[in-house]
Copies of this chain bind each other. A is one copy, B any other.
Amino acid sequence: MSWLEITLRPIGFVRTPLSDEEVKRSLGGVEAEIEVLEEFEEGLEGIEGFSHIIVVFYMHKAQGVEAPLKQRPRRLLRYGVSLEELPLVGVFCLDSPHRPNPIGLTVVELLERRGRVLRVRGLDAFDGTPVLDIKPYTPSRFVKEFRIPAWYRGLLERVREAGLKDL
C-alpha cells in the first residue's frame, strides 16, 4: 500500500431539497436525510438507540490540496463581522471545507431511522454529498471542560448576537 494515496468509497449520500446556498446560510445546519447504500444497511442495526451520531463526509465541492493553509472564517462576513475582524489562522483551527483532505465531520441529532434512511437535524452538507462513515455519539466524544482561543470565543459571541447559536 502506498502512503501517498488512500482510497475510500461512499457508504451513502446526503439528501436534502435545500440548495447549496440555503445549506451554507444556516450556521447550525439543516434537517436532512442520509441514504445509506443497500449493501451497508445491516451496519445500521441498533443505531436508533443513539440520540446523536457523528457523520463523516467528503466535501466533494470544496478545494482540496489547493486550499490555502491559512484562512479567515469568511462565512462570518454575512453576520456583520468585518473582514478586518476575521483572524488569519491555520486551516486545522477552522471548520472550513477547503482543507488538504476535504473531510467534514458533524455531530447531528438522529430524528428517525426508516430502513436505510436516517433523518437528522443539524447537518451542514450539500445534497449529494458522499458519506464516508457514521459513528455513535458516546461519552468518549464528550469533553466536559475545554478551552477555545480568545479569537474564537469572540467570533462565537458575535454570531450569537446575530441570533444564532453556534459557529
Give A contacts to B, CB under 8 Å.
1, 3-11, 40, 42-47, 49-54, 56, 58, 60, 65, 69-70, 87, 89-95, 99-101, 103, 105-107, 130, 132-143, 145-152, 156, 166-167
Q: Which 10 A-B pairs have the closest CB atoms?
A: A49-B149, A45-B90, A51-B147, A46-B89, A42-B69, A43-B69, A92-B134, A43-B90, A43-B91, A46-B93
Q: How many copies does the complex hold?
A: 2
Chain B residues contacting A140 (CB-CB under 8 Å) are 95, 106-107, 166-167
Chain B residues contacting A95 (CB-CB under 8 Å) are 135-136, 138, 140
Closest Cβ of chain B to A38, distance in Å, is 11
Interface SS of chain A: mixed
Known: A6-B130, A138-B167. 5 other contacts (CB 8 A): A7-B7, A45-B89, A103-B133, A137-B146, A139-B148
Q: Given A134-B92, A138-B167, A147-B51: A101 and B46 within 8 A (CB)?
A: no
Q: Roughly how many angstroms separate A53 CA and B95 CA in the complex, as a whole number?
A: 12
Q: Roughly how many angstroms separate A10 CA and B1 CA in the complex, as a whole number?
A: 13
